[in-house]
Amino acid sequence: MNNMNDRVEHINTSLETAILQTIEEMTFEEVEVVDHNTKELLDHGEKYWATLPLKKPYSGELILQLPSKCARKMARQLHANDAENINDEAIHDLIKEMLNTIAGRFLNEIVQLDQDFELGLPESGKGDPPRLGEEVTSILCDVACDHLVATVVGKDFETIDNV
Amino acid sequence: MIESVIIADDSATARMIIKRCLEVAGVEGKFYEAKDGEEALKLAKENEVDLMVTDLNMPNMDGWALLKEIKASSKMHELPVMVISSASNEKIKNDLLEQGALAVVDKPVSPSTVATALKNITDTNQWG
């Protein structure tokens, strides 16, 4: 790829694909991309976040933010018969696993087929996510229950050459 | 016939989904759950199991190290290993198969992808 705009577009497309496939396959919720470069959720109510380090070949972080009511709805759908047992721990676990899967699919899209890649372990919390570095791109998505925001931060992405 | 399975994944959500997919794919019997490779290895040493299903990215002992330990063990080296991970492209899948995994499945899993992987494993193994 020749310039940073092409690379950011490639990152956006790859991240969109990873989000759509992961959430639709995991939770059966329909997802639609609403906007790029929206770092915060539109509704500033209670929210969950998860972060996950990208270690190899690009170093950075992926961040996922989800309104509480949306996270709870997804957890209830996933747990089906066990829905009454959904607690905070189950929601944190779900959002971390969702981000872990998104991250793997995202790297699959942007890393060459013959290249190794490595992810770190996810962390999660409530409220505003930590500021982790220089933002590359953010995507606001509409899911059936509300919105979610996925953000990529890092400095190595100018070297992406997987067209 | 697969009658006992260890599912190693640090996410309880992932373990639940994998267990559900295995059940839909026809696996009946005992399921042991481990949240990292160390726990999975301990369970494999203490119990007679027919299949190890493991994630790659886990704390303490990851899926790579778990696979290596199983294949290096004189008692467990024939235990079939299925890797289920989001962190795998063609190179990583080939590396895992070379190191002894019998199937590599992408997350998020579905009953059909798990069933296909199980068929590949049962086709290459005979359970008494």
Segment A22-45, tens digit of pLDDT = 988 888 888 888 877 666 666 667
Instruction: Tell me the nearest-neighbour CA distance from B107 into chain A, angstroms.
Output: 6
Residues 6+ positions from A73 with CB-CB distance below 8 Å: A29, A145
Cα–Cα–Cα angle for A149, A155, A158, rounded to 5 degrees:
100
* CA atoms of A23 and A103, how far apart (whole Å): 12
Residues 6+ positions from B48 with CB-CB distance below 8 Å: B4
* CA atoms of B67 and B40, how far apart (whole Å): 10
Mean pLDDT by 10 residues, chain B (128 residues): 94 95 93 98 96 96 97 95 90 94 94 93 72
Q: What is the mean pLDDT of chain A?
A: 82
Backbone φ and ψ of A52, nearest 5°: -145, 125
Q: Which of A78, A104, A116 sits opposite B13 (nearest CB)?
A: A78
> What number is the average pLDDT over the span A152-158?
71
Locate the DSSP E strands across B2-75: 4-8, 30-34, 51-54
Q: Which of B11, B106, B108 sits opposite A96 (nearest CB)?
A: B11
- The pLDDT value given to residue B34: 98
Q: Which two tokens stand for residue A62?
A: 């992926």
- The pLDDT value given to residue B20: 93
Residues 6+ positions from B14 with CB-CB distance below 8 Å: A97, B55, B84, B107
* CA atoms of B51 and B31, how far apart (whole Å): 10
* Greater model confidence, A137 or A2: A137
Please answer yes or no on whether A101 and B12 come within 8 Å at the CB atom. no
Tell me if chain B has a CB within 8 Å of the CB of A111.
Answer: yes
Please answer yes or no on whether B59 and A117 come within 8 Å at the CB atom. no
**Spatial contact of B41 and B70, defined as CB atoms under 8 Å apart:** yes
Is residue B75 classed exposed, middle or buried when 0-12, 13-18 and 19+ CB atoms within 10 A define those classes?
exposed
- The pLDDT value given to residue B126: 58
- Whether the per-residue pLDDT at A155 is higher than 70: the answer is no
Cα–Cα–Cα angle for A55, A60, A61, rounded to 5 degrees:
100
- The pLDDT value given to residue A163: 44
Please answer yes or no on whether B13 and A94 come within 8 Å at the CB atom. yes
Kindly list the residues from chain B whose CB atom is less than 8 angstroms away from the CB atom of residue A111. Answer: 89
| Residue range A85-128, pLDDT digits in tens | 789 999 999 999 999 999 999 998 888 878 888 899 999 999 88
* Greater model confidence, B71 or A154: B71
Closest CA relative to residue A78, chosen from A111, A101, A105: A101
Is residue A161 classed exposed, middle or buried when 0-12, 13-18 and 19+ CB atoms within 10 A define those classes?
exposed
**Spatial contact of B125 and B49, defined as CB atoms under 8 Å apart:** no
Identify from B20, B36, B86 which residue to disrupt to test chain A contact, counting A C-beta atoms within 10 A and taking the largest count: B86
Q: Please, how many CA atoms are within 13 Å of residue B70, restricted to the half-sphere of its CB?
A: 33
Instruction: Specify the amino acid at residue B45.
Output: K
Tell me if chain B has a CB within 8 Å of the CB of A163.
Answer: no
Closest CA relative to residue A27, chosen from A90, A78, A80, A99: A78
